[in-house]
Structure 1
Amino acid sequence: METNYSFISIIDILGVVQGVLFGVMLLLLHSKKNKPTLYLGFFILLFSLEPIPNILNDLGLLHQYPQLELLPVHFHFLAYPLFYIYIQKISVFGNKNPSYWSLVPGILEILVGIVIFLLPTELKLKLKASRYSVVYFVIGLGYSIWIGILIIKWIQHHKKEIENQFSFVLHKQLNWAKLFTYSSIGFQLLLMINFFVDNSYWYYFVIIINVILIYWVSFKGIVQENITSLFSFFSQLGTQPYSTTIAELSATEKNKSNVLTSAEMVEIVKIIDDYIKNSQCYVKDNLTIIDVANAINIHPKRISNSLNKLKGENFNSYINKFRVEKAKALFKDDSKANLSVEGIGMEVGFHSKASFYNAFKKFEGDTPANYRKKKG
């Protein structure tokens, strides 16, 4: 068991070192253009410091220096709120004020933790063995899980808005962050079990998960770019024109009410339908609602609202339906028989094989390959 226990200590140390390195690296990458990286860097730093008391205990340092007990390195109330703010800042709603209120319990946690750490050693040992320590741990993990739920809700709201603005949504939906948050909630539950179950093998499993999560969020955080809302960009066009047409449209349309009558929505959708069919602009893989707004001289918010309320579709789904119909026509075209299924997808505006297959299956209930065979 000693050999296994030493190995656990090595993994623990590895997790702390790599977390600190990744956190510092992200803090150094922080800039005015990429300000959210600041929050992610601090999150990784705090997230990775969790095992330090266990490392000190494994190395016998807590026994030798009991004054190191209750070192203020647990951040149950602060770490995940930092990740929450990071997600808010990189999302399509990044121009809104983030939930800074969520940091307040964490700041109080640090202040109280410092005060407790400065108490006499005997008193600290009594606190550690008391039920108050258990209550703090459980409430802290509960708060982290609650913040995780708020993060998931925010990402779902973000995803819905992204699909209202872009025809190409890959890498914009923050799916990695959603999956990481679910995994982190699971990790919090594992920590809670480990707190009440004194088993070195179980702890070994928990710290392996911890190391994986640190690597995962660090890598994804480095490559993730901020997702700017096209609607907020459009609202600024009066002072920073995208084009002459857009600038004029901004001046005439931006103050119109987004509350549309049924007749207005019907008229707007007819204009959109005619333009999309005649121009076949959907074959542009990075088509945005701004491109369509520029072409038909209607504010993008009014376009989005009309599609949502009259057709029950977001912009992404609306455009993909045209692409699927075009793909079906090309499958029947003998002159396109030399093109692969993926090639047809690219021809009609899909950016990847996965997006083509998903959209085709959604509208036709079958894969494009099977559809081609049946029509062949």
Structure 2
Amino acid sequence: MLPAFNITDVFNVFLLGSALLGFCLSFFMFFSKYGKNKSLLFLNLMILTIALNNFQSWALALNLFQHKFMLSYIQIPWHFLSGPFFYAFLVNYLDIVNHQKKILKYFIFVFLLMCIAQISFVIFSSTGGATEEELNYIYERYTSFEELISFISSISIFVYSYYVLRNKEQLFQKILSFDNLKWIYNFFKLTGIVYLLWVFALVIKFSLNFSGFIYSYYPLRISTTVIIFILGYQGIKYLRILKERKHIREESENETIAEIQEEKELSTKYEEHFLNVDSYVKTNKKFLQPKYTLQNLSKDVSIGTSTLSAIINNNAKKSFVDYINEMRVEQAKKFLLNPKYESYTIASIGLESGFNSKSAFYDVFKKHAGCTPLAFKNSNC
């Protein structure tokens, strides 16, 4: 005959399993590539506190700690630290630590005080001659009020963390250029459900006078565990993406700076070459040769044609053909305005200026001067 289905046993197995998975995830995160990163470290600590809380709940459910050693109970309020650790993760991930309140150290101090107060309370209560059942009730009532304080503190930090994320965007514009933080906003939405379940569990616990309430915590434990593992996975994923994108952008910026520097050096070098080339062409009046090409100039100045073309393009801001033709047009303008050549034909002036035909002279002259050679001669342009 199969044993009867016991939901408590199933849930206890879930608690142990989730705790062990939490420890494994925490171990993996700590020794991962980015494990020493502060934001991931605090996220890791948050997951660890949830895992410890679940492990402790499992141990208490099986009476592994009660009435052992010098204390009647051991029930450390790990849940008190989950909120502060999440806040520390958030401000470190957003890189706004220097702009926000450093509240974690105060919560750790209060956490230690709560542990000391609980131990003192248990020792004091145990010496009063109360029965085991009475001690159970007293201790459960004490830890319930302790949990209520933890809930108020946690939801306060949660609300403040959301306020920082929503209203302090001017402080983390750099992060927003890498991450739209949608996954963190989704986490806040899911966590809001967890707090509702926590409220439900506390209401049931107080209304049942601190006994028979264990079932009300099942949805809370399950949802908390699931969400924490989702956050752990996404934290590792998006932190890796953030780091990789930062590295890519830094490398890209360094490459851009190097390219700009190289272009400046090349531009300076090209400028020096251009001055020499320009001087050579004008001094030797190479532009007056109708068939003078880029290849001819390349041989004359001992510079490769592609390099020479780049030098002219970068400094004269025009192609070799336009560069040479502009000199020819300027030479033709001088002839056309010189009274000595007033009776000379336009064709003679064009050919002597370096053009290989009358039609080419007219076309090029109009392109550069905006009018025909004859109109220019008559001062109509």
Under a length normalisation based on structure 1, what TM-score does the superposition of the two structures give? 0.52
Structure 1 counterpart of 2:126, which letter?
E
Q: Which residue of 1 aligns with 2:203?
A: 193
Conservation of the 8 A alpha-carbon contact between 2:77 and 2:147: no
Q: 1:207 aligns with which of 201, 209, 221?
A: 221
Unaligned runs of 5+ in 1: 248-376
Residues 140-149 or 193-202, more deviating? 193-202
After superposition, where does 1:1-376 map in structure 2 within 5 Å? 3-29=6-32, 31=34, 34-63=37-66, 65=68, 67=70, 69-91=72-94, 93-94=95-96, 96-114=98-116, 116-117=118-119, 120=123, 122=126, 125=135, 128-129=138-139, 132-157=142-167, 170=180, 174-196=184-206, 197=208, 198-225=212-239, 243=257
CA distance in 2, matches of 1:162, 1:61: 47
1:43-90 Cα deviation digits (max 9, x unpaired): 111122223443223213245637564425313432211110101111
Conservation of the 8 A alpha-carbon contact between 1:16 and 1:48: yes
RMSD over aligned Cα, in angstroms? 4.3
Structure 2 counterpart of 1:15, which letter?
S
CA distance in 2, matches of 1:39, 1:117: 27
CA distance in 2, matches of 1:155, 1:209: 23
| Pairwise CA distance, 1:158 | 5.2
Structure 1 residues 59 and 95, CA gap change in structure 2 (3 angstroms): closer
Conservation of the 8 A alpha-carbon contact between 2:66 and 2:74: no
1:170-207 Cα deviation digits (max 9, x unpaired): 45673233334424433432442353353454333222
Conservation of the 8 A alpha-carbon contact between 1:180 and 1:217: no
Under a length normalisation based on structure 2, what TM-score does the superposition of the two structures give? 0.51
| Pairwise CA distance, 1:94 | 3.4
Structure 1 residues 217 and 174, CA gap change in structure 2 (3 angstroms): closer
Structure 1 residues 161 and 111, CA gap change in structure 2 (3 angstroms): closer
Structure 1 residues 165 and 20, CA gap change in structure 2 (3 angstroms): closer
CA distance in 1, matches of 2:230, 2:35: 24
Structure 1 residues 28 and 129, CA gap change in structure 2 (3 angstroms): same
Q: Which residue of 1 aligns with 2:310?
A: none
Q: Which residue of 2 aligns with 1:261?
A: none
1:228-263 Cα deviation digits (max 9, x unpaired): 9x9xxx9x9xxx99738999xxxxxxxxxxxxxxxx
CA distance in 1, matches of 2:183, 2:169: 5
How many residues matched? 242
CA distance in 2, matches of 1:182, 1:246: 50
CA distance in 2, matches of 1:246, 1:177: 43
| Higher-Rg member (1/2) | 2
Conservation of the 8 A alpha-carbon contact between 2:198 and 2:220: no
Unaligned runs of 5+ in 2: 129-134, 262-381
CA distance in 1, matches of 2:232, 2:92: 17
Structure 1 residues 89 and 112, CA gap change in structure 2 (3 angstroms): same
Q: Which residue of 2 aligns with 1:302?
A: none
CA distance in 1, matches of 2:177, 2:186: 20
Structure 2 counterpart of 1:202, which letter?
S
Secondary structure (helix, strand or coil) at the match of 2:80 reads coil
CA distance in 1, matches of 2:140, 2:181: 47
CA distance in 1, matches of 2:83, 2:101: 12
Secondary structure (helix, strand or coil) at the match of 1:156 reads helix
| Pairwise CA distance, 1:167 | 7.5
CA distance in 1, matches of 2:97, 2:66: 50
Secondary structure (helix, strand or coil) at the match of 2:98 reads coil
